[in-house]
Structure 1
Amino acid sequence: MSAAAAPEETPSLATWLGFVLMCVGMFMAILDIQVVATSLPTIQEALGITPDAMSWIQTAYLIAEIIAIPLTGLLTRVFTLRWLFTGAVSVFTAASLGCAFSGSFHMLLAFRVLQGFFGGLLIPVVFSAVFLLFPSRLHAVATTIGGVVAVLAPTIGPVVGGFITNTWSWPWLFLINIVPGIIAALMTPSLLPKQRMDLGELEKLDLFALMLLAVSLGSLELGLKEAPKGGWLSSNCIALLVLSASCLTLLIQRLLASGDPILRIGSFQRRSFTLGCLSSFCLGIGLFGSVYLMPVFLAFARGHDAFEIGKIMLVTGVAQLVAAPLVTALDGKVDARVLTAFGFALFSIGLAASAFQPPTADYQEMFWPQVVRGVGIMFCLLPPTRIALGDLPPAEVADASGLFNLMRNLGGAIGIALIDTVIYGRVTLHAQAFRDRLMAGDTATAKAIGLAPELLRNRPRGVTEEQAIAYVRPLVEKASLALCVNEAWAMLAGVALLGFVLIPFARNKPASLSPRMMALEAAQPALRRRLDQLGPRPR
């Protein structure tokens, strides 16, 4: 079976087990981002990292990951699905061991780059496997397994990271990857179908195009990181975003001129794939944004630690698990557009419901919005995958899966930057408005921030003005943050609505090829290479 061959009509148990192990590898890669985020202060103290440099522990991982994702298609054609996953999970596991035993910031940073790059390969390769290993009648089941893993990892990440930090030491954040990584690396070569490598694809690798891709995505990630604090119109942010756009323009021109040696961007000519990617982009903004926004509110407005935050956020994960069988049963039987539109409608409602939460909101107030979001996410994840990738020939699936997953990650990066922009840019304005109303004696404002109205009218005896200000300031800051968080929730709800609006424009029934035609189209590249080797035809 070649890398682009038609899938087996009845996959063996070994194929299913190999796919599950691939999902374990993807789970490790996604979980690693979340568990490390909860323990950055602990790592900073242990290695003596300066506050300004601490964020690079995450940024280095994310930049390497986002560069690796679109390369998955090329690397799958070169090394095959089986050996690409095995190599990626092996290096990811070894890098995790290196992170655990890092004695300095620079050593940790180097291993995080390795982790991020090879972890980035583990994510799209799973969604490629859905269409390369299984026939269309099993796509819903396989996509559900991969989808649940993809969305469950960031949901339980805070509770896992908080538990490890509170119970053990920070190296265990990386050591938990070792055993499952070794098992996956050792077992998958014998479980996944055998495929033939095509090292000749490496000859097509355009190093200049690869450099343009790395610079474009890397500078975009850095620009999005810089924008909230320095401002979108700051010189650094503009320079990075202009550099990213310039490199992307050159890259597209080069790819179109050379036949897409790295990325098959020609897939965007298919309307279903393009709209599927746009819906994935909208989902990324809402999904990663909500997973980021809840800990911000619960930590700074409610004062919860990482473990408590994780327990509250488990509601979303449980809702996803409960909804998964329902989505699987409906996917393939109901128009994917209907399911996706329903999912984005639910997702938008769940996001909008959080836009009205008070500063004292906690588990009870967050329960039902999380349930609605969790159910909606599953409908937003599985059917759009079928819209985007379901009608592609096997030869295009690996590249298209990389682009599809890249759009979701880009959406997440942009969503978090927009959220930070709202929080950094508006929290001071809200705080000033609260102070002005309090100075004017507005009792409604006093109640809104949790201050007894009688304290506003009459300062207790023996309490100085400085002491009163010190008492009121945290209340004002928390109330201001809560308002900013609500505005960010409303923004995410608007993006989800945009995803809802896009869906009707997708094709109703993708024009899928028959298995025989798909196999014939997939075999064409190999036939062309064989003819080239035979030389020109005799006249």
Structure 2
Amino acid sequence: MTSNDTPEPTRPVTLWAGFIIMCVGMFMAILDIQVVATSLPTIQAAIGVAPDQMSWVQTAYLIAEVIAIPLTGFLTRAMTMRWLFVVAISVFSLASLGCALSNDFTSLIFWRVIQGFSGGTLIPGVFSAVFLLFPQNRQGIATTIAGVLAVLAPTVGPIVGGWITQTYSWHWLFLINLAPGIVCAVLAVWLLPRDRADPGAVRRLDFVSLILMALALATLEIALKEAPQRGWASPLVIGLAALSLVSGLAFVRRSLTAVHPVVELKTLMNRSFAIGCVLSFVLGIGLFGSVYLMPVFLAFVRGHGPLAIGTIMLVTGLAQLATAPVAVVMERRMDARLMTAMGFGLFALGLGLSAFQTSATDFEEMLWPQILRGVAIMLCLLPPTRLALGNLPPSQVPDASGLFNLMRNLGGAIGLALIDTVIYGRAPVLGREIVARLQAGDVETAQALGIPASVFASRIGQPADAGTAALLTPLVEKLALVQAINEAWAMIALLTLVALCSVPFARAQSIASPQLQAKAGH
């Protein structure tokens, strides 16, 4: 598709069917990250990798993904939306087969990189398709379908991954992508509109900008991965962060002055798009953070297995599905800024309520925070997408969609690094504070540890023997972990409230009649 072309007219049924096929491909790419995460220990034992190296199975995918996401606009112009999706989903399926057949660490990492790069183009491709394929009065429905699948995948991922690993083997975590991938590729050739490609885009590609962008994003991802364990002030992390900053600034400078930039950063001059990117970044922190914190708490505090964890976390997904039709109706009738404010306010409340967990917290106590977050997610996704992409000309949408989705993934990566820093950094400090309060005779602390008041009262002032110390140590560590996790929940709730403050600065968008919306969308 050239910069001034839009897809040729296509029958509505065919158009919707093609779009749903694209959404299925996006769902596969997002789900793949989650199902593999739950089974990393199983994969590690099967191929004999050192435990401290196993996280590279995820990191390799994420690094390739964040490099591919901003390239989606360029690839769409060069190949057309139709053929980019067909090639991406085909390569993703082939790489999934390669992962399943891998019998050593090196080959698995190689195929994960291929998987991540091909999967990275599927997510922004879907969200740009919303604004390229449909008139304005249908974009809310399309965004809802894409949004539900995008946020449902992390929710159902743990239960799917746990069930597959327990029922079959880790190889099927990748093999499940083959049949849907082949079907999607075949149907997309038939269903997606035929556009004009721009092969000249390849000749105009600024390879220096491409290298600078890849270097900046890759070093940032590795720094964020290493920071919680090595420390933010460690030489490796500082060096990677500095390299990322220098290459990133060089990329920005070159992109702003290039005639044909790899990524059109000038779109950020659009105020509503810039605010939409801020909201997408913070939403990524909340989405990735909540999906990470719940399994950590349920596994290490409550002792639940992958299948039980996934079952508990289904509540968020069910709340999203129930809210989706209501969100579509609201999106057509409400100012996008008001709807965004409602969503982020509700999301912050759901995150904040999880900051009061105890060692006994389980499904019942997690129910309402999950429902609130599930209801809020659709309100946090639909209107910010409209604010960011809704008023841009079609020629800018693919690049803008790549940036918009990149911000959410970067938010997730930075959010996870901050959460790990809070958990690993604060838990030892909180543990020492708990011990100090016990030694001072604090009854509430003893009760939080599960020590009966009568027993604790009889032991005040007496030195702890070896047996008592051995009994108390795991209790103290568990309570410290709970309190550190609560602080992480509070942190991301606060960040969500801060993002909420940017909403009033977005430009107001008029709510036109369906007839005017349809005309404006063509």
How far 1:228 moved relative to its partner?
Answer: 1.2
- Give the whole-Å Cα distance in 2 for the aligned partners of 1:143 and 1:518: 14
8 Å contact kept, 1:9–1:135: no
Supply the distance in 1 between the matched residues of 2:226 and 2:34 (Cα, whole angstroms): 21
- Structure 1 residues 127 and 158: alpha-carbon distance in aligned structure 2, compared to 1, 3 A threshold: same
Deviation at 1:204, TM superposition (A): 1.1
TM-fit CA distance, 1:244: 0.6
- 1:68 alignment partner in structure 2: 68
- Structure 2 contact 285–416 (Cα < 8 Å) conserved: yes
**1:438-491 Cα distance to aligned partner (Å, 9 max, x none):** 2333322110111223443557xxxx9333222211111111011011111111
Which 5+ residue runs of structure 1 have no aligned equivalent?
520-539
The residue number in structure 2 matching 1:531 is none
SS of the residue corresponding to residue 304 of structure 2 reads coil
- Shift of the 457–243 alpha-carbon distance from structure 1 to 2, 3 Å rule, reads same
Show the counterpart of 2:388: 388
Cα deviation per residue 1:27-69 (whole Å; 9 max; x = unaligned)? 0100010100000000000000001211100000000000000
Q: Higher mean Cα deviation, 24-33 or 227-236? A: 227-236
What does residue 225 of structure 2 align with?
Answer: 225
Partner of 2:275: 275
Question: Aligned residue for 2:164?
Answer: 164
User: How far apart are the structure 2 equivalents of 1:431 and 1:160?
Assistant: 35
In structure 2, the partner of 1:309 is 309
Say whether residues 1:475 and 2:488 are aligned partners: no
1:364 match: 364
Aligned to 2:174: 174
String of CA shifts for 1:497-523, please: whole Å, max 9, x gaps. Answer: 01211111000027999989987xxxx
Q: Quote the Cα distance in structure 2 between the aligned partners of 1:497 and 1:446.
A: 34
Note if contact 1:419-1:488 (Cα within 8 Å) is conserved in structure 2.
Answer: yes
Alpha-carbon deviations, 1:123-175, whole Å to 9, x = none? Answer: 10000110111111100000000000000000110010111111110001001
Q: Aligned residue for 1:5?
A: 5
In structure 2, C-alpha distance between the alignment counterparts of 1:119 and 1:380, rounded to whole Å: 23
C-alpha separation between the residues in 2 aligned to 1:486 and 1:247? 36
Q: Structure 2 CA distance, aligned partners of 1:8 and 1:359?
A: 58
1:400 corresponds to:
400
**Cα distance, 1:249–1:518 mapped onto 2, change above 3 Å:** farther
**Aligned-partner residue type, residue 62 of structure 2:** L
Runs of 4+ in 1 over 6 A off after TM superposition: 510-519
2:345 paired residue number: 345
* Alpha-carbon distance in 1 for matches of 2:395, 2:284: 26
Q: Measure, in 2, the Cα distance between the counterparts of 1:137 and 1:246.
A: 43
Contact residue 222 and residue 240 of structure 1 kept, 8 A:
yes
Paired letter, 1:434: I
Listed as ranges, the matches of 1:418-437 within 5 Å are 418-437=418-437
Secondary structure of the residue aligned to 2:262 is coil
Conserved 8 A contact 1:437-1:445:
yes
Q: Which amino acid aligns with 1:267?
A: T
Spell out, residue by residue over 1:207-264, the C-alpha distance to the aligned partner (whole angstroms, 9 max, x if none): 1111101110000011111111122122111111111110011001111121352001
Q: How does 1:50-449 map to 2 (within 5 A)?
A: 50-449=50-449
CA 1:376 to 1:515, structure 2 compared with 1: closer, same or farther past 3 Å? closer
Indicate conservation of the 8 Å contact 2:134/2:521, yes or no.
no
- Preserved CA contact (<8 Å) 2:337 2:504: yes
Q: Residue in 1 aligned with 2:493?
A: 493
Contact 1:159 1:307 in 2 (8 A): yes
What CA distance in whole angstroms lies between the structure 1 residues aligned with 2:177 and 2:32? Answer: 9
Say if 1:518 and 1:4 are closer, same or farther in 2 by CA, change over 3 A. farther
* Contact 1:221-1:413 at 8 Å conserved across structures: yes
- Supply the distance in 1 between the matched residues of 2:375 and 2:511 (Cα, whole angstroms): 29
Structure 1 counterpart SS, 2:196: coil
Please list every run of 5 or more consecutive structure 2 residues that lacks an aligned counterpart in the other structure.
none
Deviations 1:399-458 (A, max 9, x none): 000000000000001111110110011000111111122233332211011122344355
Q: 1:4 to 1:293 in 2, by over 3 A?
A: farther
Partner of residue 523, structure 1:
none
Alpha-carbon contact 1:284-1:411 (below 8 Å) kept: yes
Cα distance in 1 between the residues matched to 2:5 and 2:331: 24
Q: Is the 8 A contact 2:351 2:492 kept in 1?
A: yes
**Contact 1:272–1:506 (Cα < 8 Å) also in 2:** yes
Provide the TM-score with structure 1 as the length reference: 0.93
Contact 1:82 1:194 in 2 (8 A): yes
1:341 counterpart letter in structure 2: A
8 Å CA contact retained: 2:68, 2:118: yes
Partner of 1:332: helix, strand, or coil? helix
What secondary structure sits across from 2:332 in the alignment? Answer: coil
Q: Which moved more, 1:272-281 or 1:506-515?
A: 506-515
Give distance in 2, aligned partners of 1:82 and 1:6. 12
Partner of 1:509: 509
Cα distance in 2 for partners of 1:66, 1:4 equals 27
% same residue: 57
Q: Equivalents in 2 of 1:298, 1:345: separation in Å?
A: 26
Tell me the distance in 1 between the aligned counterparts of 2:24 and 2:94: 16
Q: Contact conserved, 2:8 with 2:194, CA < 8 A, in 1?
A: no
1-structure distance, mates of 2:465, 2:108? 48
